[in-house]
């Protein structure tokens, strides 16, 4: 059961790390020498680039870890097998949601920022 505590610790550290990266990205872009809507566009574009670069790697890692957890659970007892199966399913669901966010959010943000759909680069909001 030591594995469960380690995974919970890794999960909580990952949440805080992701939140910190996103906040620092917005803070650094907010201090740029631009004004008004251009400053918001720069911040959203930077956030989009950061999220897209992170989500691709995170989704792949979740898929690989889901396979590892499922395989490890099959070797152990019945209770651990059931718990590992639930964890693997949750990881795969998280990976699918991450991929959907990776694909859909740039289009939504681009539509909100420019008034039209995607044109060219997904994270270029009319700089």
**Which DSSP state fits 123?**
T
Task: Give the separation between CA 50 and CA 100, rounded to whole angstroms.
Answer: 16
The pLDDT score that the predictor gives to residue 120 is 57
For the chain, the domains span 2-114
| Cα dihedral: 97, 95, 40, 27 (round 10) | 130
Give mean pLDDT in consecutive 10-residue pieces for the chain, a chain of 127 residues.
70 75 66 62 76 84 91 86 89 89 78 65 61
The pLDDT score that the predictor gives to residue 63 is 92
Which residues make Cβ contacts (< 8 Å) with residue 72, sequence separation at least 6? 84
Per the CB < 8 A criterion, the answer to whether 25 and 54 are in contact is no
The pLDDT score that the predictor gives to residue 30 is 57
Per the CB < 8 A criterion, the answer to whether 62 and 119 are in contact is no
pTM above 0.85, yes or no: no
The pLDDT score that the predictor gives to residue 79 is 85
Task: Give the separation between CA 66 and CA 93, rounded to whole angstroms.
Answer: 10
Task: Give the separation between CA 42 and CA 47, rounded to whole angstroms.
Answer: 9
């Amino acid at each position: 059961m030591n594995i469960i505590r380690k995974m919970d610790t890794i999960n909580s550290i990952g949440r805080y790390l992701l939140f910190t990266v996103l906040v620092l990205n917005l803070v650094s872009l907010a201090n740029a020498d631009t004004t008004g809507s251009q400053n918001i566009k720069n911040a959203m574009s930077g956030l989009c680039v950061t999220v897209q670069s992170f989500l691709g790697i995170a989704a792949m890692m979740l898929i690989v870890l889901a396979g590892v957890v499922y395989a490890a659970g099959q070797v152990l007892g019945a209770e651990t097998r059931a718990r590992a199966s639930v964890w693997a399913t949750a990881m795969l669901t998280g990976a699918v949601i991450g991929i959907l966010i990776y694909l859909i959010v740039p289009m939504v943000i681009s539509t909100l920022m420019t008034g039209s759909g995607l044109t060219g680069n997904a994270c270029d909001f009319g700089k």
